[in-house]
Structure formats: structure tokens, C-alpha cells
Amino acid sequence: RLSEGPPTAMGSLYHEKQVSLLCGVHALNTLLQGPYFTANDLRDIAAEFDQRERDLMKEAGVDSADFLRYMAEDSGNAAVDGNFSIQVLTKALDVWNVDCVPVTGTTHSEALVNPTDEVAFLCNLDQHWFAVRKTATASPTVHAEAFACGDGGWWNFNSTLPAPQPIGTTYLSAFLAQLREERYSIFAVRGNLPDEFRRFGDGGEHGRWVTVDEAAALNRESDRVKAAGRARNIASNMLAKLGAGGWGTIAVPASVAARGGVVGVTTGGGAANADEDAELQAAIAASLGGGDT
């Protein structure tokens, strides 16, 4: 069960699930660990930037080709569907004197070599933003050493996840390197992030607080559902490949088929499709986590 209010002790994490393309809002709020901003707050900031840009473009003349072209374009600071630019997110963080420094270029790349020296990261690809940061809350398994010492751990607060996911200290560099390989823009967040959020009694419009155990359970359930879906897709694809004449020979353990939601797959004889049978069984079992246990 999800916690309804802010944490009263160490052990809770603030998370927001993806709504429309409001990932910029989700990224800021999970970075700050509380429902500090709404979409309207960021739209107001974006509107200020838009007005400043219009004023600058007007200096070339309201009849100039550049000004007319600019006015015909959509805002570069806030998309209609809710995406926001880095300058909007950075401006929102000004109140805490927090900076967002790009680290995927040649400058400040030391942040990717020694990421544990940083406070947090904002990551962006196309129209998706999410935060990665260290909190006072540690996972007793992934952050075992830090947990034993009463220290915190790093977490992935991607709003497409059902709950925050812990990132081991030794894996953090590899995680960020993978994002860079996938052409994410990564910004190191530098400054003093706010203390524990206490302004509201709930998680705001889109967020909830979860304990470490709740986060683990939500992520496990999500993995289980995905695995079952993969098993169904594998079974469907294999049946299509084998053709109408071969599906009757496939022998799938009943327990595996049931867990994968696969129906209509029966035990049959014949050796012609033995390799395909074995491949299907192994694929379904693997996607479900293996075997009948």
C-alpha cells in the first residue's frame, strides 16, 4: 500500500508516476523530494522566457522575416502537451541556488567519472526528463554497506517506473554511461537541495511517498506483469512461426503456461518440432523467471 503522507522518519521516498508529458514536473519534484511544483508553475516560468524572447525578436522589427518566423513557431520553452526546456527547469531551481551543469560534453565530464561526488542528476532524451539522486533512504539489499552505516543511497526516480529503483554505488557510473550511450543529455545538479518536505499533508497532484519495501514490491509486481506479457508474446510468435500444422505438438508445462497466461497450448507427440518445442518452453520459462518454483 502506498503511503498517503510525507515521511515522518527515514525510509520513505517521494515518487510521481508519468502523466501526459509532464515529466519535467515529475523530475523536479522527485529531485526535490516533494510536490513543490505544478505544471502551471512551470508554464508561468516558460511564459516569462517566451515574452523575453519576443521582446528581443521585436528589435529586428515586427515585419522582419525573423520575427514573423519566430511568431509562427511553437514555444521552445513549453510544449502544448507539457514538455519543458532545461532553462525552465533550471530557473525553477533558482530559489534554492541550485545549478544544472551539462556533463555530457567535454566540460565537467568528471561528474560521470566520479558521480558519487555529486548531489543528483537530471537526465533528458527527446521529450523525457527524470531525476537520479542520493537520498537519506537506503535499500538494505542494494545499498547494504551504506544501510549498515546509516548512510543513504542513490535512486532512479524515472516517472515511467512504478516506484523508485535503487542504484548501487558501484553501478552508478555504468548506469550513467549507458544513458550517455543512449544519447541522453545529463545535467549534474549542484547546490543544496531542500530539507525534508513538510508543506503539505499529501503527495500533491501526482505523487506519493513509498517506503523501501513498498517500492521493491511495486517494482517486483511490474516485472512479473512484464514477464507474463513477454511469455504470451513469445508463445504467440512461436505458434505463428510453427504454423497451423505444428502447434498441436508443443508441450508446455501446465504451471508455466498458466503463469504466463498462455492458453490453448497442449502436449502432443512427434519429434519433428522437438527443437521448436524446447525453444518455446525455455523462452516462456526464462521470461517468467525460470522453472516451476
- Angle 139-5-161 (CA atoms, 0-180°, nearest 5)? 50
Supply the DSSP string of 22-79, one letter for each residue.
THHHHHHHHHHTS----HHHHHHHHHHHHHHHHHHHHTT-TTSHHHHHHHHSPPSSB-
Beta bridge partners of 123: 130, 186
Tell me if residue 114 is catalytic. Answer: no
Beta carbons of 129 and 123 less than 8 angstroms apart: yes
Tell me if residue 158 is catalytic. Answer: yes
Residues 6+ positions from 175 with CB-CB distance below 8 Å:
132, 156, 167
Residue tagged active-site, from 26, 128, 143, 206? 128
All three cell numbers of 108, joined, read 565537467
Sort 246 into a burial class: Cβ within 10 Å, 0-12 / 13-18 / 19+: middle
Which residue carries 510544449 as its cell? 79
Residue tagged active-site, from 77, 83, 158, 273? 158
Tell me if residue 128 is catalytic. Answer: yes
Residue tagged active-site, from 23, 100, 206, 273? 23
Q: What is the dihedral of CA 212, 217, 220, 226, to 10 degrees?
A: -120
Q: Is 189 helix (H, G, I), strand (E, B) or coil?
A: strand
All three cell numbers of 15, joined, read 515518487
Residues annotated as catalytic (active site), given as ranges: 23, 128, 158
